[in-house]
Amino acid sequence: MSDESQELGITETKSHKPGEWYAEVVQKANLADYAPMGGFIVTKPRGYAIWEGIQDALDTRFKETGVDNVYFPLFIPESFLEREKDVVEGFDPEVAWVTQGGHEELEERLAVRPTSESIIAPFMADWTRSHRDLPLRINQWCSVVRWEATETKPFFRTKEFMWQEGHTAHADDEGAWEEVWTRLDQYEEVYEDVLAIPVLRGKKPEHDKFPGADTTTTVEALMPDGKSVQGATSHNLGQSFADAFDITFADEDEEEQTAYTTSWGLSWRAIGALIMTHSDDQGLVLPPTIAPTQVAIVPIWQADTKDEVLEYSREIADELEAAGVRVELDDRDERNPGFKFNEHELNGVPLRLEIGPNEADDGEVTLVHRPDNEDSVADREGIVDTVEDHLDAVFDKLYETAEENLEENVREAHSPEDILGTIGKHGGYVKTPWCGDQACEEAIKEKIAAEIVMQPLEDEGGQSAGEVPEPEREECGVCGEPADEIAYFAKSY
Amino acid sequence: MSDESQELGITETKSHKPGEWYAEVVQKANLADYAPMGGFIVTKPRGYAIWEGIQDALDTRFKETGVDNVYFPLFIPESFLEREKDVVEGFDPEVAWVTQGGHEELEERLAVRPTSESIIAPFMADWTRSHRDLPLRINQWCSVVRWEATETKPFFRTKEFMWQEGHTAHADDEGAWEEVWTRLDQYEEVYEDVLAIPVLRGKKPEHDKFPGADTTTTVEALMPDGKSVQGATSHNLGQSFADAFDITFADEDEEEQTAYTTSWGLSWRAIGALIMTHSDDQGLVLPPTIAPTQVAIVPIWQADTKDEVLEYSREIADELEAAGVRVELDDRDERNPGFKFNEHELNGVPLRLEIGPNEADDGEVTLVHRPDNEDSVADREGIVDTVEDHLDAVFDKLYETAEENLEENVREAHSPEDILGTIGKHGGYVKTPWCGDQACEEAIKEKIAAEIVMQPLEDEGGQSAGEVPEPEREECGVCGEPADEIAYFAKSY
């Protein structure tokens, strides 16, 4: 047998080799494995449980705000993809095509959905007859396939990925904007309140919008290695899909009008951001809000104290479980406490309760936080409240660390050298005035693979049109020409 | 505008044209639409909500009995499918093949999963090293594709369908059998306690087993039109997949052993059986256990009583909602009560509360059952208990009707003429001794498209080996040769 305690150790470090470290955490914490085909992964129970937690948090919010779940076919006929020209241009290079069914060649190729606007829009057209049918809000949880030839990075870059895609139709532009912001708010909330990851809200530059969209809004999260992750996007599609697929309705005066549509999605990339943000050289770190196991109880016994310690531990486990805490009593005989400590650390269990004969005799428990190993002793009495307080404390520590990282890493720069130098030295975001010309982004991208990941939005008042505030200086940080927009440059996942 | 009250009516009848009637109920109750590609459907909010109810009922049971959810890739390389010969023979004729990724021809064709044993088994091999890793129990909720050239029948026959597939590995045959029965029990429970559909438990004849299985067990439900539906299957795969994919483990003596595996699945065909079993010529009928809306409150007002009636109705709706009843207050202004009654009937809402000024003044409510329109008046006081009692009563009526249909339609027959005549006249199941020769099934099938849908199982004691009890008579009901098995013939979906 292999030396299993060796297997628990993460050998790479987050600071020196973040890519290798990440891959190791994913595998050793049993989140995912690589599939035999490049670009695909197998999501294991611990990884899938995190996805279920994210699904649950979002799905509840969607349902509370008028969204119904549906399921559309996995395949989209080629002729449907072609009906919206930006979609076909945007996705055609990365579509996986089904060409054979059984032993027969298909007459028309079927795309494995890269996103479902083109199959959903014709049904929206069918279901939308009167203004009373609007707003129409549907969502599906599924996987999509995009055949990109890049190195596999579990949850961040895979040819097939899990996501949800929401699709809505509205009577007017205002309704569509309201929808866009509702969903962006919910994404922000799930990132911040559930995943303990603060995000920046913004929009993508024109040249980086979703194919066919008027505006693509985004929540961006800054990773500790200085790169930005696009956390989720919410698109105002204007009337482009409604025009292409005849989504019209009779208004209150029985006049035919064209609808406005939106779409919005969050993928399992959120799991990637979660791992990357909080985890460390001992393995996975998870905020208690999403951790499948929130508390691991490790009893520490000798032969003569085993019964007493186990009974005491079991009572505490039962009490916590009854209160809704996700607790695991680790009473395995074949492992010693040290091994168990390491394993729960590796697996990202936020709080460990250590219970030996002293604790049992004194009516106490020792509590140890992940990741900083802060430990304290508390009374057995009131254990539920105590544990909940400690779980909150762990959440707060994780959130604060991530927030500090974000706050310290938004810098201004006003020349190409300054932009390149700042990102090169610190990573993070560089905020600069921008003339709006894609060539200026290219000039930076060629040198250090940083791009415009987002443009900030006006405050709430102006948000309804997705406007970007004007910069204080008025010269583009790259070319020096007049600039009336602000752009955030960063390297990104 | 079209005459919308006309659209609510089901024009075909269940008894005369069950196929057309079924298609009409599915569309008019807004469960599903036909997709543009033959064989595919779009599952609409009301249909998907039923699927979520089934998922919830099963997923809870799975998790309580040691199953973890996972997600495996949508695609399976052709070479993997070929590793288990029965699988490739069984599924090759109906696989959808991806041959192109972006603009490139793939080197190896990828099957869109028709079922996932061939991609899951190699990972089970990897994850199963020691007897301590067993049993290994995983499940995924996903869709699968089988390219069958048949007419589309929503939820019953579609090229893509939603299902769950569970996959387990065990140290011995006994463990595998225990698993097979646990899952069959859970399927039976969900059919009976959630869908109000009594089922028969049995096994498939040898020639109709899942490819690669030792034994395929099934729950079969009898539809009112006399045809049987295979409700879910639970397969003992013996060691065939373990042999093909090297799923071995070190036992307690460090000896290498080959594992035993099982797989089990329930698809959205359960939705088809649900619709077909309970619904009627007025539309959908749903048991309260699965109905997305359990209670519709229809206030009936004149201008001078509107405020009073609405306030009274709203209080009742709030009280029911707070108690966890899925209630909808239908306070639409633009529809009259008669239209609303029809619509809730069509949509299969099990209980309707009619509330007019008399009810409001007298502190009462009128309750009307779906499907039999039985109505009664009850006090507003204690409304939660009253509603719960009525929902239980509706469930019981539906279950009893379905149970009677099943009990009355299992008949014995002992000659080919008798089998053909009985099925021809009554539909249902014909129980007969069988010699075990597939030719005898063929002889019947050629004449009336009835087949052996299942063989009954020995009582609990003998179940652990999936044995079929011996018949009382000992001559095959078809060929007259010696018979030591019992077979149930029926037409099937």
Contact B117, B237 (CB under 8 A): yes
Same structural domain, A414 and A439: yes
Establish if A170 belongs to a structural domain. yes
Chain segment B7-16, per-residue pLDDT in tens:
678 999 999 9
| Interface mutation target, options A28, A46, A70, chain B, most CBs of B under 10 Å | A70
Establish if A287 belongs to a structural domain. no
Q: Give the integer Cα–Cα distance in Å for B480 and B477.
A: 6
Q: Give the integer Cα–Cα distance in Å for A127 and B424.
A: 42
How close does chain B come to A467, measured CA to CA in Å? 34
The pLDDT score that the predictor gives to residue A200 is 97
| Interface mutation target, options A1, A4, A74, chain B, most CBs of B under 10 Å | A74
Give residues with Cβ within 8 angstroms of B76, minimum separation 6: B110, B111, B113, B116, B118, B119
Structure tokens at A98: 């089904």
Q: Give the integer Cα–Cα distance in Å for B484 and B471.
A: 6
DSSP state letter for B39: T
Give residues with Cβ within 8 angstroms of A212, minimum separation 6: A84, A86, A87, A90, A117, A237, A240, A241, A244
Q: Give the integer Cα–Cα distance in Å for B216 and B38.
A: 30
How far out from the chain centre does Cα A97 lie?
Answer: 27
Contact B286, B51 (CB under 8 A): no
Same structural domain, B264 and B299: no
Contact B138, B119 (CB under 8 A): no
In A362-448 the beta strands, taken as DSSP E runs, fall at 364-369, 375-379, 410-412, 429-434
When the pLDDT of each residue in chain B is averaged and rounded to a whole number, the result is 94
In B89-214 the beta strands, taken as DSSP E runs, fall at 96-101, 104-112, 136-145, 160-170, 200-203
Establish if B286 belongs to a structural domain. no
Same structural domain, A349 and A444: no
How is B338-404 classified by DSSP, letter by letter?
Answer: HHHHHHHHHTT-SEEEEE-HHHHHHTEEEEEETTT--EEEEESTTHHHHHHHHHHHHHHHHHHHHHH
Any idea which residue has 């549907």 for tokens?
A138
Closest alpha carbon within chain B to A72: B42
Structure tokens at A290: 């999403």
Give residues with Cβ within 8 angstroms of A221, minimum separation 6: A191, A197, A198, A199, A200, A228, A229, A231, A273, A277
Which among A48, A92, A129 has CB closest to B71?
A: A48
Same structural domain, A210 and A272: yes
- Contact criterion met (CB < 8 Å) for A71 and B103: no
Q: Give the integer Cα–Cα distance in Å for B228 and B219.
A: 10
How is B299-350 classified by DSSP, letter by letter?
Answer: E---TTTHHHHHHHHHHHHHHHHHTT--EEE---SSS-HHHHHHHHHHTT-S
Establish if A350 belongs to a structural domain. yes
- Name the band, by pLDDT with cuts 50, 70 and 90, for residue B305: very high
Q: Give the integer Cα–Cα distance in Å for B437 and B471.
A: 15
Structure tokens at A284: 């996975």
Q: In CATH, what number is assigned to the domain containing residue A423?
A: 3.30.110.30
Establish if B434 belongs to a structural domain. yes
Closest by Cα among B403, B424, B423, B402 to B412? B423
Same structural domain, A357 and A228: no
Same structural domain, B255 and B325: no
- Contact criterion met (CB < 8 Å) for A162 and B71: yes
Q: Give the integer Cα–Cα distance in Å for A402 and A385.
A: 26
Establish how many alpha carbons lie within 13 A of residue B434's alpha carbon, considering only the half-sphere containing its beta carbon: 29
DSSP state letter for A66: T
Number of structural domains (chain A) is 3
- Contact criterion met (CB < 8 Å) for B94 and A74: no
Q: What are the strands of the beta sheet with A485-491, ordered from one edge? A: A68-69, A136-145, A160-170, A260-267, A228-236, A215-222, A200-203, A450-456, A485-491, A429-434, A410-412
Which among A70, A77, A130 has CB closest to B43?
A: A70
Same structural domain, B243 and B315: no
Contact A248, A260 (CB under 8 A): no
DSSP state letter for A296: E
Cβ atoms within 10 A of the Cβ of B426, count?
Answer: 13
Q: In CATH, what number is assigned to the domain containing residue A32?
A: 3.30.930.10
Rounded to 5 degrees, φ, ψ at A455 are -125, 135
- Let me know if A179 is exposed, middle or buried by CB neighbors in 10 A (0-12, 13-18, 19+): buried
Same structural domain, B209 and B134: yes
Chain A CB contacts of B102 below 8 Å: 92-96, 147, 149
Across the range B285-293, mean pLDDT stands at 98
Q: In CATH, what number is assigned to the domain containing residue B359?
A: 3.40.50.800
Same structural domain, A468 and A427: yes
- Contact criterion met (CB < 8 Å) for B37 and A130: no
Q: Give the integer Cα–Cα distance in Å for B266 and A203.
A: 43
Contact B31, B51 (CB under 8 A): no
Residue span of the structural domain in which A66 resides:
4-278
- Contact criterion met (CB < 8 Å) for A74 and B162: no
Chain segment A313-326, per-residue pLDDT in tens:
999 999 999 999 99
Which among B1, B103, B160 has CB closest to A73?
A: B160
ipTM of the complex: 0.95
Give residues with Cβ within 8 angstroms of B462, minimum separation 6: B469
Chain B CB contacts of A100 below 8 Å: 96-97, 99, 109
How close does chain B come to A254, measured CA to CA in Å? 9
Any idea which residue has 């470290």 for tokens?
A21
Establish if A394 belongs to a structural domain. yes
Domain end position, chosen among B397, B427, B447: B397
Structure tokens at A389: 């307080």
How close does chain B come to A420, measured CA to CA in Å? 34
Instruction: Give the lowest-confidence range in A291-295, B92-96, B228-232, B426-430.
Output: B92-96
Distance between the two ends of chain B, CA-based, in angstroms?
38
How close does chain A come to B356, measured CA to CA in Å? 26
Closest alpha carbon within chain B to A120: B42
pLDDT value at B359 more than 80: yes
Same structural domain, A59 and A116: yes
Domain end position, chosen among B397, B430, B452: B397
Contact B33, A73 (CB under 8 A): no
Establish if B135 belongs to a structural domain. yes
Establish how many alpha carbons lie within 13 A of residue A409's alpha carbon, considering only the half-sphere containing its beta carbon: 27
Which among B33, B44, B97 has CB closest to A100?
A: B97
The pLDDT score that the predictor gives to residue B356 is 97
Closest alpha carbon within chain B to A41: B73
How far out from the chain centre does Cα A391 lie?
Answer: 22
How close does chain B come to A250, measured CA to CA in Å? 9
Whole-number percent of chain B with pLDDT over 90: 90
Pairing relation of β-strands A260-267 and A160-170? antiparallel
Same structural domain, A433 and A362: no
Across the range B324-342, mean pLDDT stands at 96
Same structural domain, A12 and A42: yes
B492: three-class secondary structure by DSSP: strand
Question: How many interface pairs between A and B have CB atoms less than 8 angstroms apart?
Answer: 149
Distance between the two ends of chain A, CA-based, in angstroms?
38
The pLDDT score that the predictor gives to residue B463 is 57
Establish if A261 belongs to a structural domain. yes
Q: Give the integer Cα–Cα distance in Å for A46 and A42.
A: 11
Chain B CB contacts of A36 below 8 Å: 77, 80, 122
B180: three-class secondary structure by DSSP: helix
Which H or E element spans position B442?
helix B438-448
- CA dihedral (B212, B218, B223, B225) in degrees, to 10, reads 50
B258: three-class secondary structure by DSSP: strand
Domain end position, chosen among A406, A427, A458: A406
Q: Give the integer Cα–Cα distance in Å for B206 and A312.
A: 53
- Contact criterion met (CB < 8 Å) for A160 and B74: yes
| Interface mutation target, options A4, A27, A71, chain B, most CBs of B under 10 Å | A71
Q: Give the integer Cα–Cα distance in Å for A59 and A93.
A: 32
Q: Give the integer Cα–Cα distance in Å for B348 and B286.
A: 5
pLDDT < 50: residue spans in chain A: 1-3, 5, 462
Which among B112, B123, B126 has CB closest to A98?
A: B112
